[in-house]
Amino acid sequence: MSSPSHVADTPVTHRSQLVDYVASGEKPRAAWRIGTEHEKFGFRLDDLRPPAFDGERGIEALLKGLVRFGWTPVEEGGRVIALTRDGASVTLEPAGQLELSGAALETIHETCVELGTHLNEVRQVSDELQLGFLGMGFQPKWRRDEMPWMPKGRYRIMKSYMPRVGQLGLDMMTRTCTVQVNLDYASEADMVKKFRVSLALQPVATALFADSPFTEGKPNGYLSYRSHIWTDTDPDRTGMLDFVFEDGFGYERYIDYLLDVPMYFSYRDGVYVDASGKSFRKFLKGELDVLPGALPTLRDWSDHMTTAFPEVRLKKFLEMRGADSGPWSRLCALPAFWVGLLYDDAALDAAWDLVRDFSTAERHALRDGVPKHALGLPFRGAHVRELAVEALKISVAGLRRRAALNADGIDESRFLEPLIEIAESGQTAADRKLALFNGAWNGDIDRVFAGFAY
């Protein structure tokens, strides 16, 4: 989840400014970039418990330790709650899950170096603090009430609001981790096509990256429980956004959607003002009762855009949000999958041909079915596995035509190899962990921390 945006405090006096803000994200192809974000669970090596914020072995101590690598600390209320460096940031999720929001980079080779560098830095500091980090989609061992809370103002507001709108929102905040990629568009038409393709294929990413089969030490009946969590978090701000596939969809329609998403807060003078459940439309009219007479700023709007959580999210770029977190190789594979599909014209056309006749019911069946069944979900006389194989073929071809080579002359399609192996075998990371749990681990969930930590 985002920290306060750095957008200017320009007053918003007309709805058209909100549309223009999103449209300003348009970039020529030469300026398209790749921004990869991932989250991971921290744990203490001695008892496997998630570290609190405070203390000699706490999350703040970890952040302060990372400063030695050239990161600049960001404070809230006198406490270090984030770091920035060269267009990237390290931030905290509500229960201390550590997130790297990577810089906007040209190639996946650069992205993978960035990821590896970050994990190495975290490892150096966490070793000193006797901490470890695990990449999975859902906390495999600890209960919700055993998770710590980080001292960030927006989380206090969300913690209070979430139980009013869904049963699993607090689990989303404290016990999930994801990997996502942020990609550019050239025009409104380009945005629309990419949005439709990525939204229709988001369940395929969920299936390929499924890695959250445990809750409180036991199998939970899902392969991506993280994905299931979103189905009962907050219906006002989650889901498949059927209107994206309707004729006439564009910036204006997405802005209307966002205006109807209830607010969480307004960040004013270093303080989060609780506006949970209130209307941004009223804010535009100066009728927000918690800020009487005040009009929103573009920073308010930028912040509000981060509080919608659909499977694909539009800001000044498109965010792919369907995947469980995982090991370094899959953190590199997620941007490769989507860049291959969306950044090459022939691949984008082929991907659209693959999904253009999906019905609304089929898209929802995919979204609702993959958390439990992943690649084994039946679809059109076959399974999601076959759909994943086809999508990966298109992505590989797109990356090869992109021809972004590393120093050894190797293109970006190499990063898809872990996903190709998963699709061809039909065995997700969740399937394999379940087999270990029921076999070599003898039902001991603690083994996952030793076996799969970074």
Q: Given this model, what pLDDT does residue 157 score?
A: 97
Name the stretches of the chain with pLDDT < 50: none
The residue assigned the tokens 């959250």 is 212
- Beta strands in 2-118, from DSSP E residues, in sequence order: 34-44, 72-76, 79-85, 88-92, 98-101
| Confidence (pLDDT) at 197 | 99
Which tens digit of pLDDT belongs to each residue from 70-79?
A: 999 999 999 9
What is the dotted CATH code of the domain comprising 16-261+308-452? 3.30.590.20
Instruction: Supply the pLDDT for residue 355.
Output: 98
**What CA–CA distance (Å, rounded) separates 212 from 404?**
33
Q: Take residue 243 and report the two structure tokens written for it.
A: 């209107």
The H-or-E segment that residue 274 falls in is: strand 271-274
Whole-number pLDDT of residue 145: 98
CB 452 within 8 A of CB 441: no
Position 446: which residue type? D
pTM of the model as a whole = 0.97
| The pLDDT of residue 6 | 62
Q: Which pLDDT belongs to residue 8?
A: 72
Bridge partners of 36? Answer: 181
Contact 80, 152 (CB under 8 A): no
Q: How many CB atoms lie within 10 A of CB 1?
A: 18
Separation CA 303–CA 301 (nearest Å): 5
User: Which residues have CB under 8 Å from 207's CB, separation 6+?
Assistant: 223, 224, 370, 374, 375, 377, 384, 385, 388, 428
Taking only the tens place, the pLDDT of each residue in 345-395 is 999 999 999 999 999 999 999 999 999 999 999 999 999 999 999 999 999
- C-beta separation of 305 from 20 below 8 A: no
